[in-house]
Amino acid sequence: MRRRKRGFNPLDWQGAIADSKPGPVVGSESTVDDGDVAWFEWCNPTYNQNGPSCVGQGWANWCELMVRRYIDPKAFKGGWQIEGEAIWKKAREMYYGGDMSGGLALNEGFLAAKELGIFPESAQSMRVSNDWNTIRQALKLTPLVQGHHVHYGWDQPSTENGCIDHAPIPTDSDGYHCTLRVAALNQGITKFYSLLNSWGPSWGWRGIGVMTDGEDAEGIMRGGLLTANGFSMSEFTGWKKYLKKGI
């Protein structure tokens, strides 16, 4: 079970800013750098991830946000979601002989979603460089599926602002995790990224976490930012077959 701090106090916070102020409040009080798009309006976290299916959930969340923004903001009934676990299972069949005991590389999840027909045949995956200006530009059009090193602090992000309680030095034993990058934010001179997780809406700030670009740079997996392109939204209909009731 994930442990959570009670009675959050910014003075005790081991988060992104080393002073007495809390981190950025995700939502209406956040500042978005230079008018870039933050995807909070389309984030509706319903997953409570089961097992090592995070890459499948990350691509499912990517699809949901794109559908809500570009096709229909009310495309999903309350609590309904695209079945990310189906993506994970398909990829484990395709690349691991049906062994369901592990996770996936990011592109394996994309190719499995394509095999299922969630993505159209013309879809391609594109890797995005992990630098501030490139990500800001990419986030104007699309959220980004990311692989990240997970340390102890991921278990107890602030419920007030989503800030992940950073451990000083990530360790190799902590493992890796897939989430969806949804915003590039500023608070003063400090730059932040926000991510949509798949651990349910009670994690962080309504399912969203925040970390500085410096902390992110320490934890991001090599080449760990992907998006999908090469198809029109009118072709993007296969996801409808994989709707399920969430939590």
In this predicted model, what pLDDT tens digit does every residue of 75-92 receive, in sequence order?
A: 988 888 999 999 999 999
Please report, rounded to a whole number, the percentage of residues in the chain having pLDDT higher than 90. 45
Q: Cα Rg for the chain, rounded, in angstroms?
A: 17
Kindly state whether residue 223 falls inside one of the protein's structural domains.
yes
**What number of residues does the chain have?**
247
Q: What is the pLDDT of residue 16?
A: 34
Kindly state whether residue 175 falls inside one of the protein's structural domains.
yes
Overall domain count for the chain: 1
CATH number for position 132? 3.90.70.10
- Using an 8 Å Cβ cutoff, are 93 and 58 in contact? no
Kindly state whether residue 15 falls inside one of the protein's structural domains.
no
CB neighbour burial string for 207-246, b if at least 16 within 10 angstroms, e if fewer: bbbbbbbebbeebbbeebbbbbeeeeeeebebbeebeeeb
Kindly state whether residue 185 falls inside one of the protein's structural domains.
yes
Kindly state whether residue 213 falls inside one of the protein's structural domains.
yes
Q: What is the pTM of this model?
A: 0.85
**What is the tens place of the pLDDT at every residue in 100-128?**
999 999 999 999 999 999 999 999 999 99
Kindly state whether residue 14 falls inside one of the protein's structural domains.
no
Kindly state whether residue 13 falls inside one of the protein's structural domains.
no
Report the C-alpha gap between 171 and 165 in whole angstroms: 15
**What is the tens place of the pLDDT at every residue in 7-55?**
333 233 233 333 333 444 444 344 555 556 788 888 887 777 878 999 9
**What is the token pair recorded at 142?**
């699309």
Kindly state whether residue 5 falls inside one of the protein's structural domains.
no
Q: Which domain holds residue 131?
A: 21-245
Q: 82 or 247, which is more confident?
A: 82
Which segment of 32-46, 194-208, 220-234 scores lowest on mean pLDDT?
32-46
Q: What is the pLDDT of residue 23?
A: 43
| CA terminus-to-terminus distance, the chain | 17
Q: What is the pLDDT of residue 167?
A: 58
Report for 39-43, 128-132, 230-234: range of highest mean pLDDT: 230-234
